[in-house]
Amino acid sequence: MKKGKWWLFAAAAVLAAVLLVPVRVNLKDGGSVRYQALLYEVTKIHQLAPEVKGVKPYIDGFEVKLLGWTVYRETNEEMLNASA
């Protein structure tokens, strides 16, 4: 291996760490948690929904974003709206 090649591997490892290692963010909407990195974002949704018939339900689900675009979102919002 050439003398300067290890710099290339070290730079690639640092770049991958910066782009892919997430930071946990607790949202103040009832208990949602977001894991956010520069390239992606994953949100575990647990959000307090409007009161329906005296009951305060939660919206639960997941959301995945890549480069700011939502690629997957699944929640139980439709079920809560149907029962209203």
Note whether residue 26 is domain-resident. Answer: yes
Note whether residue 8 is domain-resident. Answer: no
Note whether residue 72 is domain-resident. Answer: yes
Q: Is the pLDDT of residue 37 over 80?
A: yes
Q: Is the pLDDT of residue 40 over 90?
A: yes
Q: Is the pLDDT of residue 35 over 60?
A: yes
- Do the strands 69-75 and 58-66 form a parallel or antiparallel pair, or are they unpaired? antiparallel
Note whether residue 42 is domain-resident. Answer: yes
Number of domains making up the chain? 1
How many C-beta neighbours within 10 Å does residue 47 have? 17
Rounded-to-integer distance, Cα 80 and Cα 84, Å:
7
User: Which structural domain range is residue 50 located in?
Assistant: 22-82
Note whether residue 65 is domain-resident. Answer: yes
Which of 80, 46, 51 lies closest to 63, judged by CA? 46
pTM of the model: 0.73
Note whether residue 28 is domain-resident. Answer: yes
Note whether residue 55 is domain-resident. Answer: yes
Note whether residue 36 is domain-resident. Answer: yes
